[in-house]
Structure 1
Amino acid sequence: MTDPNRPIGFFDSGVGGISVLKQAVRLLPHENFIYYGDSLNAPYGSRPLAEIQQLTFDAVDYLLSRNVKAIVFACNTATSAAVHLVREKHPDLPIFGIEPALKPAVENTEGGSIVVMATETTLKEQKFAQLMDRVARDRHVVKLCCPGLVELIEEGKAHSQETLDYLSDKFKALDVPEIKAIVLGCTHYPFILSPLRQVVGPTPLIFDGADGISRHLQNVLTQRGLLSDRQEPGEIHLINTSGDEKLLELSIALLTAQDPPMSDPPLDMETLGS
């Protein structure tokens, strides 16, 4: 029988997927988690498709070497580019891919426009086109490609004047009063919520996919009998490929600086780069 106390693997191109990890930890506090952040190769969004796919397979192979029981793609770009290929290769492994939260944005708003902020790869891949056709055919959806924003967040500048200026520039060409919803189509982007609110004001609803994928993870693990049977809090192991201790420190800061605050989980970390 499969050990239900094996860890759940999380993967992102950098620190952004921590926005998904923290929601999963809240929902499943007794689980062990291994988070693999590939900051050495971030951002993925502007890389060639074949390169993104290879980096994704490398991350999956690493997590499998750590004996994970499931893998969450906490990365919209990797999901768009490679999740279908990984599922084909590992048909018996629970694999969860995140997608832009366009459906709840459509369901919770009427009229106006919906802005989807995402990387180039996410917005141009067929997976997003299919999502739009399925849930937003009758809505005005604005695709807002945000090159450089991931880098600002990876550099710890999420709340800097530089990021505020970047967002102001991105939205200046849009009719902000007509925006009913903003979809954060990259897992890095929830960390710039405060400066984004400064730019667009309090009115647009803002959506990301962390809650949906975390609940889906919980449901599937329950159905497969893979939920941890421990009573104590699980452990979180943070890994970053950059070799930069500052990125691990940023990862911990992003994971623990929450409202409401998370109870202190056991944390461990390591770098894989040099």
Structure 2
Amino acid sequence: MQRPIAILDSGVGGLTVAKEIMRQLPQENMIYFGDSERSPYGPRSAEEVRGFTRQIVDFLLPFHPKMIVIACNTATAAALSDIRKSVDIEVVGVIEPGARTAITKTKNAKVAVIGTEGTIKSGAYRRALQAISPQIEVYSMACPQFVPIVEKGLFDTLETMSIVEDALQAMKQYPIDCMILGCTHYPFLQDTIAKVMGPDVELINSAEETAREVSTILSHKQLLRKSPVAPYHRFFCSGDPKMFQKIAQLWLNEEVQVTPVIWQVSNII
């Protein structure tokens, strides 16, 4: 099927999901929207995040996507259920895939979750984990410093290492054996987080697991694209297109053209 997969995020974080989808499903067309102008979503109210997510979905629907991927944990927690009810195509979030993987990886049933303030406050990961395995102990912590670092393209600096070390010191006291990167921005910092947490803590990248879910659903529904023609990828962002392009090209390792989008109303609820 020629219709694209639509991916949305509060900024560049969803590129971690896009990269995995491009790797696992290299024939698929893709439309990506990063709402960098209003990033981060984490400190915002759930109602506001639902409004932003609805606005982006309305922007994406005219491209006739066969699936929408909400590649933002905060938006998944706040809006996934509402968006699923409002459209007639498959909608995938990033929380459940990460939770399922953590269940299979943990050996001592002690799992950490780091994410934005909105994601952690929602309790969505705790509910998803304990719905599968009630005995799981969940240690959750918001890391609001991380998204702004990534949106500025500061992935591997001494300052970033210092910020990550300071943010995760409290988490190191717990007897966890795996940690869910509960924000799609965080895989940009995965190497730094791994250095801070050490080799005994396995990091769960929800981007990889979400891409696997996308592949499984499209295959099951016989919606995979089969064409000798190269796929197309289109990128839109509401913030600085030059910064978005710089980060996208670095992360995806290919040339990217970014179309800026200016919202007529900057705060829609």
**Same fold, judged at TM 0.5 (above):** yes
**Helix, strand or coil at the partner of 1:115:** strand
Q: What residue in structure 1 maps to residue 258 of structure 2? A: 269
- 1:238 aligned onto 2:235: yes
Q: What residue in structure 2 maps to residue 81 of structure 1? A: 78
Q: What residue in structure 1 maps to residue 91 of structure 2? A: 95
The answer (yes or no) to whether the contact 2:14–2:72 under 8 Å persists in 1 is yes
Q: What residue in structure 2 maps to residue 174 of structure 1? A: 171
Letter in 2 for 1:270: T
**Helix, strand or coil at the partner of 1:179:** coil
Q: What residue in structure 2 maps to residue 48 of structure 1? A: 45
In the TM superposition, 1:145-224 aligns within 5 A as: 145-176=142-173, 178-224=175-221
Report Cα offsets for 1:158-213 as digits up to 9, x if no partner.
21222211111122223458331111000000110111122122221110222322
In the alignment, the residues of structure 1 paired with residue 2 and residue 94 of structure 2 have an alpha-carbon distance, to the nearest angstrom, of 23
Q: Which structure 1 residue ranges, 5 or more long, are not aligned?
A: 257-263
Q: What residue in structure 2 maps to residue 259 of structure 1? A: none
In the alignment, the residues of structure 1 paired with residue 209 and residue 191 of structure 2 have an alpha-carbon distance, to the nearest angstrom, of 22
In the alignment, the residues of structure 1 paired with residue 154 and residue 183 of structure 2 have an alpha-carbon distance, to the nearest angstrom, of 16
Q: What residue in structure 2 maps to residue 35 of structure 1? A: 32
Which sits farther off after the overlay, 22-31 or 135-144? 135-144
**CA displacement at 1:218 relative to structure 2:** 1.9
In the alignment, the residues of structure 2 paired with residue 171 and residue 180 of structure 1 have an alpha-carbon distance, to the nearest angstrom, of 14
In the alignment, the residues of structure 2 paired with residue 173 and residue 220 of structure 1 have an alpha-carbon distance, to the nearest angstrom, of 38
Relative to structure 1, the CA distance from residue 203 to residue 129 in structure 2 (aligned partners, 3 Å threshold; closer, same or farther) is closer
**CA displacement at 1:136 relative to structure 2:** 4.4
Letter in 1 for 2:94: I
The answer (yes or no) to whether the contact 2:74–2:119 under 8 Å persists in 1 is yes
**Helix, strand or coil at the partner of 1:193:** helix
- 1:17 aligned onto 2:14: yes
TM-score scaled by length of structure 1: 0.89
**Helix, strand or coil at the partner of 2:234:** strand
RMSD: 2.0
Q: Which structure 2 residue ranges, 5 or more long, are not aligned?
A: 264-269
Report Cα offsets for 1:17-45 as digits up to 9, x if no partner.
11111111111111110110000010011
In the TM superposition, 1:108-127 aligns within 5 A as: 108-111=105-108, 113-125=110-122, 127=124
Report Cα offsets for 1:213-260 as digits up to 9, x if no partner.
22222222223332212124312111111043122221221122xxxx
**Helix, strand or coil at the partner of 2:177:** strand
**CA displacement at 1:267 relative to structure 2:** 4.2
**Helix, strand or coil at the partner of 1:174:** helix
Which sits farther off after the overlay, 150-159 or 207-216? 207-216
Relative to structure 1, the CA distance from residue 174 to residue 7 in structure 2 (aligned partners, 3 Å threshold; closer, same or farther) is closer
The answer (yes or no) to whether the contact 2:7–2:30 under 8 Å persists in 1 is yes
The answer (yes or no) to whether the contact 2:152–2:243 under 8 Å persists in 1 is no
The answer (yes or no) to whether the contact 1:103–1:136 under 8 Å persists in 2 is no
